[in-house]
Amino acid sequence: MSNQYTVTVGLGSCGIAAGAQKVYDALQNGLQDVAADLAVGGCMGMCFAEPLVEVASADGARIIYGYVDPEKAVELVKKHVESGQAVTESVLWMKGIESADANYYNKQQRLLLKNCGVVDPNSIDSYISMGGYKAIEKALKTMTPEEVIKEVEISGLRGRGGGGFPTAIKWGLARKSPGTEKYVICNADEGDPGAFMDRSVLESDPHRVMEGMMLAAYAMGASEGYFYVRAEYPLAIKRLRIAIAEANAKGFLGKNILGTDFNFQLFIREGAGAFVCGEETALIMSIEGKRGMPRTRPPFPAVKGLWGKPSNINNVETYANVPYIVYEGGAAFAKYGTESSKGTKVFALAGKIARGGLIEVPMGITLNQVVFDIGGGLKGDGKLKAVQTGGPSGGCIPAELCDTPIDYDSLKKIGAIMGSGGLLIMDESACMVDVAKFFLTFTQDESCGKCTFCRVGTKKMLQILVRITEGKGREGDIELLQDLATKIVQGSLCGLGQSAPNPVLTTIKYFRHEYEAHIKDKICPAKKCKALISYEIDAEKCKSCSKCAKGCPVKAITGAKKEPYVIDKESCIRCGLCQSACKFDAVMVTTGNGRGE
Amino acid sequence: MSLRENENNSFPEIDEIVKKLSANKTPSMMILQAIQSTYGYVAPEMLERVTELTGLPSSTLYSIVTFYAQFRLEPIGENLIQVCHGTACHLAGAERITNAMEMETGAEAGSTSADRKFTVDKVACLGCCSMGPVITVNGETYGNVTPDLVQKIVKQKRECCEINGCKDHDSAGKEATVSE
């Protein structure tokens, strides 16, 4: 690193999907005669503007350019470096800038994500240069394990995987459990569809999570740690492997760490595509090489966990909070948030939002603030209908309740949960019965089958939801769903079953009229449910280009030159490909009367 | 294939895998994952070989590969396509993308096309929710996918198969590769 400028390309999975790798390659070729170093970065959080390129100067100023392509990136960076000035009209974010896009950044509180997109995830030196491994040094050299737990207690940190259990209590229990063989486990089996916080943190700042695990290990007296990472996250696994190897080489892992008598080793185990393994006892089973099925608690893992030994399980985000808490003190962390929910929370903002991505906000901020101030409102001219939190275990919060503050207890009060951090924004195009069906399809498929109510009950709920969306719903179906839901919650051993009915219960609670429209009037107000809609071509708008007919998998569309095309409703399977294919917005969807069934 | 025929060992890599991973505590999942990443699937006769080498009952191994969605019991096509059906992608129209994919490849979701060129899978969230709908093709991720793009990608992969005899994607189904 000798040049005055460092150019970083955000190479998280999202960035790569948006073409950031091509941008990186172009810069590698295009910057050979430019006085700038090129670096790999993690997720900068602004997924909506990917690919992202950051130009940092030696004085620490950072300027982020968004929406680049390979040519534009080379041109921007050259211009910036040669003139020594930011190319103002293309700047997405820089310190002090006021703009709609910059609000996305300015209105956040980034403690945990401070390094994300800034450090090179593949370089331990990069992490150390940002103050990395200072917390473990402080703990090992100046604090007793009890003092570490005390700081975590002062911070008020609660489990970020969704449960919200106080972290310090968990650690304290594991510390008190007798024995010298103990384990720390990092739950990186981020299975909630719609959540990508843990993936981004692992891909962008793996050492921070490792440092958090080291602190936990020191606090409870463990010398081995395991990452359990979703197999769907190959890049996170790859970067973790590099990080662990580097930490071993530098002496941050292994024997006598930092010259003390603390020994710690880290291993990675890959998940194999089972959502239930996000539950702690199922996860332990999986590491033990068995089917991932939960067991009754107690004994809790803190007493009897991995291989029967006392173990502590936290999720990625929980561990990633700990280095800050130990280094800055628990009180610094507790400054943020509300009485019962301290600190900040990372969210994956996605769905029909103008500016989606990875955000970190203080607890207590309202959903509206997140959607409108940070996310810039809805995509296009959509209107906010609902916010879904907590994935398949969570609930749908209607727009009129979006002034609810985000904290564990307020969300619980309205039937939703904090969950791990997925925030799905829905506009009027989302059918709430379809959303409930979507989540039940997922949970009934992922039920491990151990508890009857979860195994059979979720399947029955799905059957009812399917028939409602098919226009075959019966009087009393809503009550039947509610009745089943209560029993599934009571009759299930683990969080999967206990929370699986939530999406159904909250959509019934807040959007009952949509269920009724499906059941009684046989219409789908959002025009989503295939059996209740039909496609038609607007003869006025049709330009007879034949694109729809060519794309129709069942050849249900006919027409001729200079004549509007027509869809045969009998043979149409309502796949909607014609609507995607039409460039003139001529394919319309109707519900109710138009159906010929 | 029975155990007898196995004596001349049709899967030499399995011996290596078992040797390499046996030092880990409870390595059965790791071994099975490594086998899948080598062969693209786990066949019953491979399980038998693992049993011979480790003493783990093949019923136990079978219980693992049938529990976890990641394991395949049959070989996959030359190209492995995953269509994300996470919440964000669902809202963004993943169903339409799967429809288009089935139409272009001739493979129904969850199966392999008759010409064995494509395996199409629906998967739970790939974690690129801001870019939905998302698909991966042989480990490479594509965001904001449209039916048009599906057509283009499938056509390109099909031609590539015809020209190169598919040497390019020998890695299909093996550990997903993400370029750095």
Contact B132 A193 (CB under 8 A): no
Task: Kindly list the residues from chain A whose CB atom is less than 8 angstroms away from the CB atom of residue B63.
Answer: 291
Q: Which of B120, B125, B128 is nearest to B153 (CA)?
A: B120
- Using a pLDDT cut of 70, give the percent of chain A over it: 99
What confidence category does residue B169 fall into, taking pLDDT thresholds of 50, 70 and 90? very low
Flag whether pLDDT at B172 surpasses 60. Answer: no
**Preceding omega of B133 cis (within 30 degrees of 0):** yes
Residue type, A405: P
Residue type, A119: V
pLDDT digits (tens, 9 = 90+) for A495-544: 999 999 999 999 999 999 999 999 999 999 999 999 999 999 999 999 99
Number of helical H runs and strand E runs in chain A: 24, 18
Please give the Cα distance from A92 to A44 (Å, whole number).
Answer: 12
ipTM for the complex shown:
0.89
Flag whether pLDDT at B155 surpasses 70. Answer: yes
pLDDT digits (tens, 9 = 90+) for A149-159: 999 999 999 99
Task: Kindly list the residues from chain B whose CB atom is less than 8 angstroms away from the CB atom of residue A587.
Answer: none
What confidence category does residue B174 fall into, taking pLDDT thresholds of 50, 70 and 90? very low
Distance to chain B for A287, nearest Cα, Å: 7
pLDDT at site B180: 37
Beta bridge partners of A342: A337
Contact of A289 with chain B, judged by CB distance below 8 Å, is answered with yes
Average pLDDT, integer, range A57-70 = 91
pLDDT at site B176: 36
Contact of A270 with chain B, judged by CB distance below 8 Å, is answered with yes
Q: Own/partner pairs for B60-68, CB < 8 Å, 24+ apart?
A: B60/A290, B60/B28, B61/B28, B61/B32, B63/A291, B64/A289, B64/A290, B64/A291, B64/B28, B64/B29, B64/B32, B65/B32, B67/A274, B67/A291, B67/A292, B67/A448, B68/A271, B68/A272, B68/A273, B68/A274, B68/A291, B68/A292, B68/B29
pLDDT at site A162: 83
Task: Kindly list the residues from chain B whose CB atom is less than 8 angstroms away from the CB atom of residue A292.
Answer: 67-68
pLDDT digits (tens, 9 = 90+) for A302-339: 999 999 999 999 999 999 999 999 999 999 999 999 99
Q: Which of A335, A328, A381 is nearest to A354 (CA)?
A: A381
Flag whether pLDDT at B166 surpasses 80. Answer: no
pLDDT digits (tens, 9 = 90+) for B59-100: 999 999 999 999 999 999 999 999 999 999 999 999 999 999
Please give the Cα distance from A200 to A235 (Å, whole number).
Answer: 10
Contact of B153 with chain A, judged by CB distance below 8 Å, is answered with no
Contact A14 B131 (CB under 8 A): yes
Please give the Cα distance from B35 to B70 (Å, whole number).
Answer: 12
Contact B130 A48 (CB under 8 A): yes
Tell me how crowded residue A393 is: count the other CB atoms within 10 A of its CB. 24
The closest CB to that of B127, out of A233, A238, A287, belongs to: A233
What confidence category does residue A268 fall into, taking pLDDT thresholds of 50, 70 and 90? very high
pLDDT at site A480: 98
pLDDT at site B164: 57
Contact between A499 and A401 under an 8 Å Cβ cutoff? The reply is: no
The mean pLDDT of chain A is 94
pLDDT at site A468: 97
pLDDT at site A6: 93
pLDDT digits (tens, 9 = 90+) for A193-210: 889 999 999 999 999 999
E strands present in A319-421: 344-351, 357-362, 384-389, 395-398
Contact between A398 and A511 under an 8 Å Cβ cutoff? The reply is: yes
Please report the residues numbered 92 through 151 in chain B whose beta carbons come closer than 8 angstroms to any beta carbon of chain A. Answer: 93, 95-96, 99-100, 102-103, 123-132, 134, 139, 141-144, 146-148
Give the β-pairing of A62-65 and A91-94: antiparallel
Residue of chain B whose Cα is closest to the Cα of A428:
B91
Q: Give the H or E element holding residue A314.
A: strand A311-315
Is the dihedral angle over the CA atoms A452, A456, A458, A461 positive or is it negative?
Answer: negative
Give the CA dihedral A352, A356, A360, A364, nearest 10 degrees: -20
E strands present in B5-148: 79-84, 111-112, 118-123, 135-137, 140-142
Residue type, A454: C
Distance of alpha carbon B82 from the chain centroid: 9
What confidence category does residue A593 fall into, taking pLDDT thresholds of 50, 70 and 90? low
Please give the Cα distance from B125 to B87 (Å, whole number).
Answer: 7
Is the dihedral angle over the CA atoms A548, A551, A557, A559 positive or is it negative?
Answer: positive
Task: Kindly list the residues from chain B whose CB atom is less than 8 angstroms away from the CB atom of residue A388.
Answer: 87
Contact of A40 with chain B, judged by CB distance below 8 Å, is answered with yes
Flag whether pLDDT at A597 surpasses 90. Answer: no
- Using a pLDDT cut of 90, give the percent of chain A over it: 88
What confidence category does residue A13 fall into, taking pLDDT thresholds of 50, 70 and 90? confident
What confidence category does residue A2 fall into, taking pLDDT thresholds of 50, 70 and 90? low
What confidence category does residue B165 fall into, taking pLDDT thresholds of 50, 70 and 90? low
Distance to chain A for B164, nearest Cα, Å: 24
**Preceding omega of A70 cis (within 30 degrees of 0):** no
Q: Which of A510, A530, A506, A501 is nearest to A597 (CA)?
A: A530
Name which of A8, A9, A16, A431 to mutate to probe chain B: the one with the most chain B Cβ atoms within 10 A of its Cβ.
A16
Q: Which residues contact A335 (CB under 8 A, 6 or more apart)?
A: none
Output the DSSP codes for A525-545.
TTS--GGGEEEEE-TTT----
Distance to chain B for A425, nearest Cα, Å: 9
Q: Which of B22, B42, B24, B44 is nearest to B33 (CA)?
A: B42
pLDDT at site B124: 85
Contact of B59 with chain A, judged by CB distance below 8 Å, is answered with no
pLDDT at site B8: 56
Q: What Rg value do the Cα atoms of chain A yield, rounded? A: 26
- Using a pLDDT cut of 90, give the percent of chain B over it: 71
Residue of chain A whose Cα is closest to the Cα of B62:
A291
pLDDT digits (tens, 9 = 90+) for A367-404: 999 999 999 999 999 999 999 999 999 999 999 999 99
Between A118 and A479, name the one with better pLDDT: A479
Contact of A69 with chain B, judged by CB distance below 8 Å, is answered with no
Flag whether pLDDT at A562 surpasses 80. Answer: yes
CA distances in angstroms from A520 to A180, A343, A477, A478, A531, listed in the order given: 64, 47, 11, 12, 14
Q: Own/partner pairs for B70-73, CB < 8 Å, 24+ apart?
A: B70/A231, B70/A271, B70/A272, B70/A273, B70/B33, B70/B36, B71/A272, B71/B32, B71/B36, B71/B41, B71/B42, B72/B36, B72/B40, B72/B41, B72/B42, B72/B173, B73/B41, B73/B42, B73/B43, B73/B44
Contact between A119 and A203 under an 8 Å Cβ cutoff? The reply is: no
Task: Kindly list the residues from chain A whose CB atom is less than 8 angstroms away from the CB atom of residue B100.
Answer: 551, 577, 580
Please give the Cα distance from A574 to A368 (Å, whole number).
Answer: 35
pLDDT digits (tens, 9 = 90+) for A401-447: 999 999 999 999 999 999 899 999 999 999 999 999 999 999 999 99
Contact of B21 with chain A, judged by CB distance below 8 Å, is answered with no
Task: Kindly list the residues from chain B whose CB atom is less than 8 angstroms away from the CB atom of residue A282.
Answer: none
Q: Which residues contact A92 (CB under 8 A, 6 or more apart)?
A: A46, A49, A52, A64, A65, A66, A67, A101, A102
pLDDT digits (tens, 9 = 90+) for A71-114: 999 999 999 999 989 999 899 999 888 888 888 999 999 999 99
Beta bridge partners of B81: B120, B137
Please give the Cα distance from A49 to A101 (Å, whole number).
Answer: 9
Please give the Cα distance from B116 to A353 (Å, whole number).
Answer: 39
Q: Give the H or E element holding residue A81.
A: helix A70-83
Flag whether pLDDT at A14 surpasses 90. Answer: no
Q: Which 3 state secondary structure label does DSSP give B81?
A: strand
